[in-house]
């Protein structure tokens, strides 16, 4: 993969990550509704099975949605080719720092970016 392609795909992945983060925030912020329902119900009736079911239902549903968002983001990274072809490690997040400098996978050391295309590689230092 060329460095320019990697950077272009990384930007697309970062946009998808930002959108996923916003979706996650929206999902978590919906806790307001079951919280209000349960608070009012506990004030009137006390803790009962319905209150517990509402809280557990919200936790389960939001957990499933957040898991789906995380899986979708991982799938997007695969679609963009942001993984090592040799060891299947992700090339986003913390490993990308070493990748940008050396052009190599931080997990297995395989050359992921074209050596001549990596402006900061050791091969081009001299």
Stretch that binds Zn ion, among 18-26, 32-40, 72-80, 84-92 (CB under 5 A): 84-92
DSSP-derived letter for residue 91 is -
| Alpha carbon distance 56, 51 (integer Å) | 9
Supply 105's token pair: 């996978």
Residue 87 lies near Zn ion (rule: CB under 5 A): yes
Exactly one of 38, 91, 99, 105 binds Zn ion (CB under 5 A); that residue is 105
Residue 86 lies near Zn ion (rule: CB under 5 A): yes
> At 111, phi and psi to the nearest 5?
-70, 110
> Least distance (Å) from Zn ion to the CB of residue 82?
12
Residue 64 lies near Zn ion (rule: CB under 5 A): no
Residue 84 lies near Zn ion (rule: CB under 5 A): yes
| Alpha carbon distance 60, 66 (integer Å) | 10
Residue 110 lies near Zn ion (rule: CB under 5 A): yes
DSSP-derived letter for residue 92 is S
Residue among 64 and 110 whose Cβ is closer to Zn ion:
110
């Amino acid at each position: 993969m060329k460095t320019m392609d990697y950077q272009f795909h990384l930007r697309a992945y970062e946009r998808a990550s930002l959108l996923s983060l916003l979706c996650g925030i929206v999902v978590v912020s919906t806790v307001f509704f079951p919280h209000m329902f349960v608070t009012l119900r506990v004030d009137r009736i006390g803790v009962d099975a319905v209150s517990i079911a509402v809280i557990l239902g919200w936790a389960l549903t939001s957990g499933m949605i957040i898991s789906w968002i995380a899986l979708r983001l991982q799938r997007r990274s695969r679609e963009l080719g942001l993984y090592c072809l040799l060891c299947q490690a992700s090339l986003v997040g913390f490993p990308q720092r070493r990748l940008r400098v050396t052009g190599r996978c931080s997990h297995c050391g395989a050359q992921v970016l074209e050596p001549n295309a990596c402006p900061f590689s050791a091969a081009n230092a001299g």
